[in-house]
Amino acid sequence: MPYQYIAERDAKGHIIRPAGDYLEILAAGRMFNWASPYRRMCAKCRRPAMRGSESCWVHDPEYRKRRAQRAIESGDPSRIAKVPQRKHRAMMATIWRRDPWFNGRTVWLAPKLEEQFRRACADAALPVETVSPRTADNLRWQWRLYRLDENNWPGWELAVAKARRFEHRIGEAPPDWTYQPPGNAPPGVGSPVVVVTQKSPVRWRATQKRTPKMKAVLRKVAGPREGIASAEAIEQVEQFLFQHHKDLREVFQRLGKRADDPQVRAQVARAWASALCGEYAGYKALRLLQEE
Ligand SMILES: [Zn+2]
């Protein structure tokens, strides 16, 4: 009940004079830097502080530069990959502050997840095809948080309400704007767009077992690896490829002559099976095979 802390409002509802205890709460919050064991806040504003810094991303640009430099020097590929992602997100935030209808994205959801996300938006009476790209991108991150990371339904509700208010404020789309649906293929290797195909890795491993159907697919394409080429294994691979020949036709066309090599065929089968299980590594392997 926040209203008991407000002594006086004007006709429009703006606060003219907060009550005494409201000021006390503000003072206490400031004293503890708005902190809780779970949330450390920026020393200058109310955004969360970055790990290893006193301030948020707005108030400590020097720390962001140093962080990028350290990541590049570390040689750790997962840390290096974050550098262009952060840069891209900062750039999109700048563009979207001026023009929320600028078509762009910072996150890509796998087709199955994208469909679930689209339905969640429609259920919330905020169809993703009608909102600005800025809002759609925000909602994708929020939906991922709600559905895959934290299972936080109230958080999703709040995000939708906030998005609705924002859309109401910016009004209609410009006449030349059209909705650009995300493609079925993830953005290329090295793209700064974050790809989401499954739960966050640690929790996924802890909570999700492979279903019998996934196991069957993986067993089918287990061979032949380098050096192993039993007739039975080759036959299993061929059977699997035949089942999925429609989806893989383009891949084989691009492979050309190499498509006759049993080892390449097994690699394609393995990659496709893993992609079917929703693993990004599968998509990546397929793409790399085609580029060789
Ligand atoms: Zn700040």
Phi, psi of 109 (to 5 degrees): -100, 140
CA of 169 to the centre of ligand 1 (A): 24
Tokens representing 253 are: 């066309």
**Interval between CA 248 and ligand 1 midpoint (Å):** 49
* CB-based contact 93:192 (threshold 8 Å): no
Q: How far is the CA of 63 from the centre of ligand 1 (A)?
A: 13
Residue range 161-195, pLDDT digits in tens:
999 999 999 999 999 999 999 988 888 777 889 88
Average pLDDT (247-265) is: 83
Pairwise pLDDT comparison (87 vs 245), residue with the higher score? 87
Q: Is the pTM of the predicted complex or chain greater than 0.75?
A: no
Distance 247 CA to ligand 1 centre (A): 48
Ligand 1 center from residue 67 Cα (angstroms): 17
Expressed in angstroms and rounded, the spacing between residue 187 Cα and the centre of ligand 1 is 32
Distance 46 CA to ligand 1 centre (A): 6
CA of 240 to the centre of ligand 1 (A): 54
Position 258 pLDDT exceeds 60: yes
Q: 39 CA to middle of ligand 1, Å?
A: 14
Whole-number Å distance, alpha carbon 116 to ligand 1 midpoint, is 34
Q: Which of 43-57, 60-74, 272-286 has the highest mean pLDDT?
A: 60-74
Q: Name the residue among 214, 233, 209 with its Cα closest to residue 222.
A: 233
Residue 122, number of CB atoms within 10 A of its CB: 12
pLDDT band at residue 32 using 50, 70 and 90 as cut-offs: low
pLDDT for 10 beyond 50 = yes
The pLDDT > 90 percentage for the chain reads 33
Beta carbons of 255 and 220 less than 8 angstroms apart:
no
Residue 203 confidence (pLDDT) above 60: no
More confident residue, 283 or 257: 257
Taking the C-alpha atoms of residue 210 and residue 219, their distance in angstroms, rounded to an integer, is: 12
- Summarised one tens digit per residue, pLDDT across range 77-125 is 888 989 999 999 999 999 999 999 999 999 999 999 999 999 999 999 9
What secondary structure does DSSP assign to 41-63, as a single string? B-SSSSSBPPTTSSS-TTT-HHH
pLDDT of residue 205: 42
Query: What pLDDT band is residue 59 in, cutting at 50, 70 and 90?
Result: very high
Distance CA 182, CA 113 (A): 12
Which two three-digit tokens encode residue 136? 């759609």
- Spacing, Cα 83 to ligand 1 middle (Å): 21
* Mean per-residue pLDDT, 215-239: 64
Distance 48 CA to ligand 1 centre (A): 8
**How many percent of the chain have pLDDT more than 70?**
73
pLDDT tens for 259-279 read 888 888 888 888 888 777 666
> With bands split at pLDDT 50, 70 and 90, how would you rate the model's confidence at 29?
low
Distance from Cα 146 to the centre of ligand 1, integer Å: 25
